[in-house]
Chain A
């Protein structure tokens, strides 16, 4: 699995003009930076190979989180930038928006990170990300044959996810 489009987890991208097709792509990471799932619905441009792309995304989130915590004006208790934080320490961010896309982010206390990249005009997706976390529990974690920390290969999960994402974004 080196390049996008060639792997078995990439769905055939739906027609970009279809209604409710504002989601570009989604990532699920675990705490140790393993990309458990990558889904892509509408992404015309790929500049990096899959592995580099995942690493870049994870690095972006990690750095952004430590920056937002460092900038927090409400808390005096913070270490130096880049010093590892204890779980629960520091604030976090929910989303950021550029002129071409919006990135929504949630992280569970167990270190599961869910990232959804959508059209910049999409509203608050925090509840939706929470719902996706619930889907992940139902279709992945509860599967006794899934071993933790490995890429998710579940057709059922992918289908449910596609359907749900189409309905929100």
Chain B
């Protein structure tokens, strides 16, 4: 029987090296700022942040698996719980909760009450369409893709847009079976 993974990310979080939270927040802010300058279109910035997150996610998954000792999750419900309780704690120092499950267990919401990325941020009128934290949705999508789950991650609530929390909807599109990668005649 494989070892059972941790229920929370607290122990791992207390053992990793950390940087000053303000430095982290301001660095992320600087990136978004620069993207806005370079790309001009808010929609393009959203796309770029998502892509950057995706690139982080496909790497971060290995770090997550190696440090957390999580083995395979039994189903998507356990996966979502693990992301919220262990993943967010490990890498952002906050805990999220999972709610709004649909009937067949393939779509849920991850709700963040506290989000270190948005300290000091107020959306100006010119950036109303911006999903400031779009990097997070990319990270989740990328990380899950590496464990063979194709997902669609979208923002439902965003505090910068006046909602009372950050809510990410994670929808499982399909699980990709493992196939033999070589062709017979190769």
A residues engaging B (CB < 8 A)? 31-33, 55, 58-59, 62, 84-88, 108-112, 130, 133-134, 136-137, 141-142, 148
Contacts and interface: CB of A to CB of B under 8 A. Distances in A.
B117 to A, nearest CB: 20
B92 interface: no
Classify the secondary structure of B's interface with A: loop
Contacts of A137: 62-63, 66-67
B74 interface: yes
Interface of B: 58-59, 61-63, 65-67, 69-74, 146-149, 175-182, 186
Given A84-B177, A86-B177, A142-B59, A33 B65 contact: no
Given A86-B175, A88-B73, A109 B66 contact: no
Contacts of B177: 84-87
Majority secondary structure of chain A interface residues (helix, strand, loop or mixed)? loop
A59 B182 contact: yes
A136 B62 contact: yes
Given A87-B175, A87-B177, 7 more contacts: A86-B175, A87-B147, A87-B149, A109-B147, A110-B65, A133-B65, A137-B62
A95 B74 CA distance: 23
A108 B58 CA distance: 13
B73 A62 contact: no
Contacts of B147: 87, 109-111
Contact of B67 (A33, A84, A112, A134): A134
A157 B181 CA distance: 27
The 9 A-B pairs at the shortest CB distance, nearest first, are namely: A33-B181, A84-B177, A88-B72, A87-B148, A110-B146, A137-B66, A84-B179, A32-B181, A134-B66
Contact of A88 (B69, B74, B179, B181): B74
Contact of B61 (A33, A85, A88, A110): A110
